[in-house]
A and B are shown apart, each in its own frame.
Chain A
Amino acid sequence: QQPVQSPQAVILREGEDAVINCSSSKALYSVHWYRQKHGEAPVFLMILLKGGEQKGHEKISASFNEKKQQSSLYLTASQLSYSGTYFCGTVPDNYGQNFVFGPGTRLSVLP
């Protein structure tokens, strides 16, 4: 079952902040965040594991609320290079190995 992402699209000015949300109806082991530029392969940004472990970048951070099965990606002081489509991906907490991406959030950062 595909996770739900919101918003579907967001437009920012350089330097503004953004939050992208991802929620699942299933108990999750991990939530992954990827960014994809048009015509290119997705690139890994962040992974959050059940139990609170987190890996990520400087100006991009994320949280994972295990009780609600929700994750949020925070983009701080956005740069033009942040433009692209952001996908969350989920791994279920039942030793399943299938990986399900959300439908994506298109982020456009304007000068």
Chain B
Amino acid sequence: EAQVTQNPRYLITVTGKKLTVTCSQNMNHEYMSWYRQDPGLGLRQIYYSMNVEVTDKGDVPEGYKVSRKEKRNFPLILESPSPNQTSLYFCASSLFFRGVLGETQYFGPGTRLLVL
């Protein structure tokens, strides 16, 4: 079954304790992306990756890191989480179409993060 998986689904942590949220897709997609969703603000892109070893900042990259060492995996790293990073996080993947993102994005189930 074609899918995007995220782990963990729920996470409670404390300020400053490094954490990683994993994302994996089995559709051989080139493009992967992380979003955070907050009430009233919609989904905002944190980082995206166009292929292995190619990543770029989205609209809200501060406080986050990513890496793309394999095509299927795109982990999101919070080196020193703060309470303002409490949010619902989604990973997504997509094919490229005509050299740009012209196809649908498939979303993972989401990770709810609470930073105390």
Task: Say whether B45 contacts A49, CB under 8 Å.
Answer: no
CB B96 to nearest CB in A, in angstroms, measures 8
* B44 contacts partner chain A, Cβ-Cβ < 8 Å: yes
A32 and B42 contact, CB distance less than 8 A: no
The smallest C-beta distance from B9 to any residue of chain A, in angstroms, reads 11
Given A98-B56, A99-B48, A100-B59, A91–B102 Cβ distance below 8 Å?
Answer: yes
Nearest-Cβ distance from residue A47 to partner chain B, whole angstroms: 6
What is the size category of the interface that chain A forms with chain B? Answer: 20 to 34
Once A97-B50, A99-B48, A100-B59 are accepted as A-B contacts, the answer to whether A29 and B102 lie under 8 Å apart by CB is yes
Judge whether A42 is part of the interface by a CB distance below 8 angstroms. Answer: yes
Q: What's the minimum C-beta distance from B84 to chain A, rounded to whole angstroms?
A: 19
Known: A42-B43, A42-B90, A87-B43. A99 touches B33 (CB 8 A): yes
Instruction: Decide yes or no whether B100 CB sits under 8 A from chain A.
Output: yes
B93-116 CB contacts (< 8 Å) to partner A: 99-110
Can you pick out 19 interface pairs between chain A and chain B where the beta carbons lie within 8 Å of each other? A29-B102, A39-B110, A41-B107, A41-B109, A42-B43, A42-B107, A43-B107, A44-B106, A49-B102, A87-B42, A87-B43, A91-B101, A91-B102, A96-B100, A97-B31, A99-B105, A100-B45, A101-B35, A101-B45
New contact pairs (10) apart from A39-B110, A42-B107, A99-B101, CB-CB < 8 Å: A42-B43, A47-B104, A49-B102, A91-B102, A97-B50, A97-B56, A97-B101, A98-B45, A99-B33, A103-B41
Nearest first, the 9 closest Cβ-Cβ pairs linking A and B are: A41-B107, A44-B104, A101-B43, A103-B42, A104-B42, A91-B101, A101-B42, A30-B102, A42-B107
B residues sitting closer than 8 Å to A (CB atoms) are: 31, 33, 35, 40-45, 48, 50, 56, 58-59, 90, 99-110
